[in-house]
Structure 1
Amino acid sequence: MDDDLSLAKSAALAGAAEAMRHFAALADLPREMKADGSVVTLADRAVEATIRDVLTAARPADAILGEEEGETSGSGGRRWIIDPIDGTALFVAGDQRWLVLVALEEQGEITAGVAVVPAMDRVWWAGRGTGAYEGRLSGGRIVDETRIHVAACASREVAGSRLGVVPDWDREVAEPLIALADEQHWPLHPPLMIARGELDLAVQTCGQIWDFAATSLIITEAGGHYRGLYGRVGPGAGPSLFAANAELRDEALSAVNAAPARS
């Protein structure tokens, strides 16, 4: 039986392949608006169904939580967490930066995480205590596996640090950091850029547990830090902060928490 991280990779790659099938035919892709104003498509649902099929076949007793289909119960304190297309607005716009995210939570702790950027043929993964890695996709397989680390010379202060803010349309919560840092364009998801040493700090201004479960582990195993902006330690609902080191994390959290409350 495959280990959990291998299974997470297999499920994420199967979802990525399904997503690319729809991405290649965007003009004909039905889409609609959710109650929260975000867009959802047939691709989101098809990708989640594909990932669920892989996970259920291998681990039928495990719970699964997905953005589109909700939670199915399981036993033993194990739960797979799926974001079938993270960045659906990017996806429908033809932007390549969207992701497929799969993570495993055991007894409340994330122990495996995979992030695929299918349109760029890139994949990142981590297991609890085993480090973070990046690879390239070729013919549906992972090649050129490389261990990744945050930048050893990353800034310890918000002022002048390399900052990424995502998504582009919801930035108010990050304004105290934007005013001080050197905000940069993000050709990849900003938390992954920190994990590979290309940014120092990132704010994801909104989201749910499925947006953060995989990336929170990847950045931690790369030597970085993850926190909710308002006291939350583990992945969950609300804005989140990713940092290359503890000093930068703490200063960034202090700057955000000292800012006037959002109305």
Structure 2
Amino acid sequence: MTGAAVALPHFEALADLPRELKADGSVVTAADRAVESAIRDVLAAARPTDAVLGEEEGQTGASGRRWIIDPIDGTALFVAGDNRWLILIALEEDGEVTTAVAAHPAQGSLWWATRGGGAFEGRIVGGRVVAETPVHVSAGADTVAGSRLGVVPEEWNRELVAPLKELTPALHWPIHPALMIARGDLDLAVQTGGQIWDFASTSLIVREAGGAYSGIDGRPQPGPGASVYARSDALRQAALEAMAVVSGSR
């Protein structure tokens, strides 16, 4: 809740929000830095011996327990006034993500999961989580053709996802496609780039909802590069095979 409380006032006053470009050309704002700083303050008070890795401040500390923070996932959406941006927080223990939270603060929704404990969706009302609901992926055929596909970002001029476009159309996503898969609203999603903080939280939520996740190279752990989410492991494999023509893994 702390991150949302810091981010929302910035989102409501975008005209006055300082922003700049990083070395990689992506946008960063004062809101990104303020949200990460606020989350770090909470973690420092509650878990002072844990390590923290954040997109804006890098890693601090060394421990078998590491918090992974993306203070504003989708900063380009944020500065455009698009409410689909998220705050992502995950806990990694001995190299495995065990706890995950994904919030759409501007939409008032929260998603979370624990390893072996399932995945859930709730609403944020008055700073409290209400309407807690277990989520689960949908059933269906394990073929890319006919599947409900989401791509992050919503661009089709990317060579990586072109083979999927030939098999099934991409759908507009009102919330992050990984969360839509967890809730049964999509079957397959590709995020065409990112770092560990982009995937740590959403990968666990999808898996705990009964789905599958991997990097484009098939690695099971979240990390840099493109990633695939699917409602089944067989569908994930089918998507990787379809994209192998471009990725060079075939």
| Alignment TM-score, normalising by the size of structure 2 | 0.96
Q: Alignment partner of 1:188: what SS?
A: coil
Q: Given the alignment of the two structures, is residue 107 of structure 1 paired with residue 94 of structure 2, yes or no?
A: yes
What amino acid maps onto 2:22 in structure 1? Answer: K
Q: CA RMSD in A?
A: 1.3
Amino acid at match of 2:126: G
| Cα displacement (A) at 1:57 | 0.5
1:74 Cα deviation (Å)?
Answer: 2.8
Aligned to 1:129: 116
Q: Which residue of 2 aligns with 1:8?
A: none
What is the alpha-carbon distance in structure 1 between the residues aligned to residue 241 and residue 162 of structure 2? 13
**1:36–1:151 CA distance, 2 compared to 1 (3 A):** same
Q: Report the counterpart of residue 254 of structure 1 in structure 2.
A: 241
Q: Is the 8 A contact 1:163 1:178 kept in 2?
A: no
1:261 deviates by 4.4
* Cα distance between partner residues in 2 of 1:223 and 1:260: 26
Match of 2:49 in 1: 61
Of the three residues 9, 34, 46, the one matched with 1:21 is 9
1:243, 1:161 → 2: CA distance? 10
2:87, 2:187 → 1: CA distance? 23
**Identical-pair percentage:** 65
C-alpha offsets along residues 68-123 of structure 1, whole Å, 9 cap, x if unaligned? Answer: 00000133x11000000000000000000000000000000000000000000000
1:117-165 deviation per Cα after TM superposition (whole angstroms, max 9, x unaligned): 000000000000000000000001100000000012x331001110000
2:238 equivalent to 1:245: no
**Distance change (3 Å), C-alpha of 1:260 and 1:130:** closer
The alignment status of 1:119 with 2:70, answered yes or no, reads: no
Matching residue of 1:44: 32
Where structure 1 has 5 or more consecutive residues not aligned to the other structure, the ranges are 1-12
Q: CA deviation at 1:256?
A: 1.0
Q: Does the 8 Å CA contact 1:81/1:102 hold for their aligned counterparts?
A: yes
Counterpart selection for 1:207 from 194, 200, 213: 194
**2-side partners of 1:259 and 1:38: how far apart?**
24
Q: Hey, what does 1:10 align to over in structure 2? A: none
Cα distance between partner residues in 2 of 1:189 and 1:19: 18
| CA gap 1:69/1:143 in 2 versus in 1, 3 angstroms | same
Rounded to whole Å, the distance in 1 between the matches of 2:56 and 2:45 is: 19
Report whether the alignment pairs 1:168 with 2:157: no
User: Matched residues in 2 for 1:157 and 1:31: separation?
Assistant: 42
Q: Do the aligned partners of 1:150 and 1:223 also contact (CA within 8 Å) in 2?
A: yes
Within the alignment, does 1:159 sit opposite 2:150 as a pair?
A: no
1:140 to 118, 127, 138: 127
Aligned 8 A contact 2:160 2:247 in 1: no
Task: Tell me which residue corresponds to 2:174.
Answer: 187
Change (3 A) 1:33 1:223: same
Alpha-carbon distance in 1 for matches of 2:60, 2:219: 25
For 1:96 and 1:172, the matched residues in 2 are separated by 27
Out of 30, 37, 60, the position equivalent to 1:72 is: 60
Task: Give the number of aligned pairs.
Answer: 248
- 3-state secondary structure, aligned to 2:2: helix
Distance 1:87 1:155 in 2: 31
4+ runs of 1 displaced by more than 6 Å? none
The amino acid that maps onto 1:182 is P
2-structure distance, mates of 1:172, 1:18: 37
Matched-pair contact (CA < 8 Å) for 1:155–1:200: no
SS in 2 for 1:259: helix
- Unpaired segments of 5 or more residues in structure 2? none
CA distance in structure 1 between the partners assigned to 2:141 and 2:160 by the alignment: 21
Closer/same/farther in 2, CA of residues 260 and 216 from structure 1, 3 Å limit? closer
